[in-house]
Structure 1
Amino acid sequence: MLVCKEMELSLAVDPTNSGGKTTKLMETESDDDEECDGEAWEMLNKGLKEVQNALDENRLLIQQVNENHQSMISDNLVKNVALIREINGNILKIRGVYSGISVSLCNFVHRRGVIKKGIGKVEFADL
């Protein structure tokens, strides 16, 4: 017998998170201990929070770059080089987090499939 319950997950990819948007995901459980792995949800939540923090930081950095550009003061324009490099670094960090999430979720799905087939236990990849 399958039992479904709803879970809410904040949309961390919305840099403004306007209106506190959430999306509902369905989690299925069965009487055969096929509960959703809390470790996977924790990893996903941690990764999305990290992405949101980097996006928030980039939003502030972009505002500063725009203010510096509008001022047309040469020192402020020089500062933009470092700010843009920091923005680029945050984008690379976001890419890395999404890549890690993807690998971990693939490992989770693979592990669940192996366990369902009774082949044995596969360990979650440490990232």
Structure 2
Amino acid sequence: MEGDAAVTGLGNGGAAAQVDGKVLQTFQKSFVQVQNILDQNRLLINEINQNHESKIPDNLTRNVGLIRELNNNIRRVVDLYADLSTSLSKSVETSSEDNSAARPAGKRVRPA
């Protein structure tokens, strides 16, 4: 992917670039999972709406299971976003620690 090099190049090289690459891979994987779940939810919602409009007792009964599946999918999306948030926080903390460790002791960094 074109953006990969730009993001991984943000680190101080070496290990930082590897961490940035791993974080990027985690984000990409999670966003693909979220998108797949959201696509599935769209199909579930369409089926639920069709069943509701049909007013056929069996279809309405089926909606109970479909709505449960939809709710579980929403929980999975929330969990994935929570994991992403945690991962991003850890990455930022690690990056901050790496940057502060790279500065010489006792010297302030002046703004440009």
2:80 corresponds, among 76, 97, 103, to 97
Distance 1:37 1:91 in 2: 28
Q: What 5-or-longer segments of structure 2 have no aligned partner?
A: 103-112
Name the % identity: 38
Q: What 5-or-longer segments of structure 1 have no aligned partner?
A: 1-5, 9-25, 120-127
2:37 corresponds, among 49, 54, 74, to 54
- 1:27 counterpart = 2:7: yes
Distance 2:100 2:83 in 1: 26
Q: What is the deviation of 1:93?
A: 0.3
Q: What is the deviation of 1:27?
A: 3.4
State the TM-score, normalizing by the size of structure 1. Answer: 0.68
Match of 1:12 in 2: none
Taking a change above 3 Å as real, the CA distance of residues 30 and 45 of structure 1, as seen in their structure-2 partners, is closer
* Structure with the higher fraction of residues in helix conformation: 2
Distance 1:30 1:52 in 2: 27
RMSD (Å) for aligned C-alpha atoms = 2.2
Cα deviation 1:52-87 (Å, max 9, x = unaligned): 011001001011101111111001001001100100
Paired residues in the alignment total 97
* Structure with the higher fraction of residues in strand conformation: 1
Partner of 1:37, secondary structure, is helix
Distance 2:11 2:79 in 1: 37
Relative contact order (C-alpha < 8 Å, sep 6+): which is higher?
A: 2
The structure with the largest alpha-carbon Rg is: 2
After TM superposition, the runs of 4+ consecutive aligned structure 1 residues lying more than 2 A away are 26-32
Match of 2:66 in 1: 83
